[in-house]
């Protein structure tokens, strides 16, 4: 169909145009191209009853029309088609949907408009997508209008991008618009990726009582809170006996790592505020340990009538253990040696209590069948350098 040059004053934009966002810099780039090369593709218009001097309405090509106005051109090449309101709306919507630079909200609104005069099946077939894709697109319109507008706007200076993926994540909080809006600001301010947002939302859903904290703290702190809250939640569940051995190993490994880090020289290089934070952290850990140790003592006392809280040194690696431990948990050396017992008579190589013969070789390196291995009368010769933790009264 041949085109003709129409005056810009005789043309008006389509009031049902799905594209509502026209970025100024983008229009200026198009205007620069038109100034140099002209309008390469005519716009499409349809005749209408004259309104304020306009005799035609744009069906396709409003960006080209706006760019020509920006340049002050008197005319623009156009193809005139006689289209009904429905046909004009469909053509305009379809033309815009095929453009890659149309934002997801405009696309969703265009699909919504097409569904007013087309079936789901026809819209899906026309656009070459599945009905599921159409429904996913419309889901974005369930978000508060402020969030929809965030998807349309470009990020400000220093802000992170707010993308369709971010917006879809927020759909999980449909019933909490206030939290959705605060998350948008958090996404932009902290430049969060989609995975970060999903983590925060998951945390809010799992621990709603901590929602305010999750909305305020950095993602790294969210990870720490989740580990702590998860551990507390795990402790509320029935304990599986098969996990006890692994649990013990993990505690011992962590204890060694923490002990290695306890270097009081750190205080020389911290500010007063940082030192207060560190002391609060270690004091909280101490309270947790005191409570744990009290429960552990009660359990040992209830299970072992002969329990004595006496600490001894491993003769090989120096690890401090309770006298109730048969072997060192680090190097697996037998702990209760007659050689280290205050009741052992080295000169006569015998037990000073029972008079039983215990040769030096056996006293220094007892085997599992040795008398000293599980001797209930073991008496440490030297006091171990360990501090017994006591609960505050």
Which string of DSSP letters, residue by residue, matches 163-195?
-HHHHHHHGGGTT-HHHHHHHHHHHHHHT--HH
C-alpha distances out from residue 124 to 85, 119, 137, Å: 21, 9, 12
The alpha carbons of the chain give a radius of gyration, in whole angstroms, of: 39
Catalytic residues: 62
DSSP secondary structure, 71-131, as one string: HT-SEEEEEE----HHHHHHHHHHHHHT-TTS-HHHHHHHHHHHTTTS-HHHHHHHHT--H
CA nearest neighbour of 334 among 311, 303, 313, 353:
313
DSSP string over 187-222: HHHHT--HHHHHHHHHHHHH-GGGHHHHHHS-HHHH
| C-beta of residue 366 within 8 angstroms of C-beta of residue 327 | no
Is residue 347 a contact partner of residue 309, using CB atoms and an 8 Å limit? no
Contacts of residue 359, defined as CB under 8 A and 6 or more positions apart, other chains included, come to 349
Tokens of 256: 């060694």
Query: In which element (H, E) is residue 313 found?
Result: strand 311-313
* Cα–Cα distance for residue pair 246/314, rounded to 1 Å: 23
How many other CB atoms sit within 10 Å of the CB of residue 279?
11
């Amino acid at each position: 169909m041949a085109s003709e040059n129409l005056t810009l004053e005789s043309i008006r934009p389509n009031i049902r145009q799905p594209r509502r966002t026209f970025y100024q810099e983008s229009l200026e780039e198009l205007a620069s191209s038109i100034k140099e090369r002209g309008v390469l593709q005519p716009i499409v218009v349809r005749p209408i009853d004259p309104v304020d001097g306009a005799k035609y309405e744009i069906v396709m090509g409003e960006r080209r029309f706006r760019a020509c106005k920006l340049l002050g051109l008197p005319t623009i090449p156009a193809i005139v088609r006689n289209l009904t309101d429905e046909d004009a709306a469909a053509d305009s919507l379809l033309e815009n949907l095929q453009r890659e630079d149309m934002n997801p909200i405009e696309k969703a609104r265009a699909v919504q408009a097409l569904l007013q005069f087309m079936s789901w099946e026809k819209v899906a077939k026309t656009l070459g997508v599945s009905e599921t894709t159409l429904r996913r697109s419309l889901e974005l319109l369930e978000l508060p209008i402020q969030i929809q507008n965030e998807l349309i706007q470009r990020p400000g200076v220093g802000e992170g991008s707010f993308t369709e993926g971010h917006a879809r994540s927020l759909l999980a909080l449909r019933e909490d618009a206030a939290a959705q809006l605060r998350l948008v600001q958090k996404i932009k301010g902290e430049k969060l990726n989609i995975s970060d947002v999903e983590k925060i939302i998951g945390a809010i859903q799992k621990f709603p009582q901590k929602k305010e904290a999750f909305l305020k703290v950095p993602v790294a702190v969210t990870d720490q809170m989740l580990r702590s809250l998860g551990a507390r939640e795990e402790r509320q569940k029935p304990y599986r006996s098969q996990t006890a051995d692994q649990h013990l190993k993990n505690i011992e490994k962590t204890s060694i790592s923490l002990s290695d880090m306890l270097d009081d020289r750190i205080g020389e290089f911290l500010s007063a505020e940082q030192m207060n934070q560190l002391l609060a952290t270690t004091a909280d850990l101490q309270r947790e340990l005191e409570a744990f140790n009290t429960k552990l003592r009660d359990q040992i006392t209830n299970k072992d009538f002969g329990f004595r809280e006496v600490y001894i040194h491993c003769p090989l690696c120096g690890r401090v253990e309770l006298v109730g431990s048969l072997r060192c948990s680090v190097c697996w050396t037998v702990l209760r040696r007659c050689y280290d017992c205050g009741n052992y008579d080295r000169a006569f190589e015998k037990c000073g209590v029972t008079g039983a013969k215990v040769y030096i070789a056996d006293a220094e390196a007892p085997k599992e069948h040795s008398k000293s291995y599980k001797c209930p009368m073991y008496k440490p010769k030297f006091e171990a350098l360990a501090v017994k933790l006591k609960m505050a009264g």
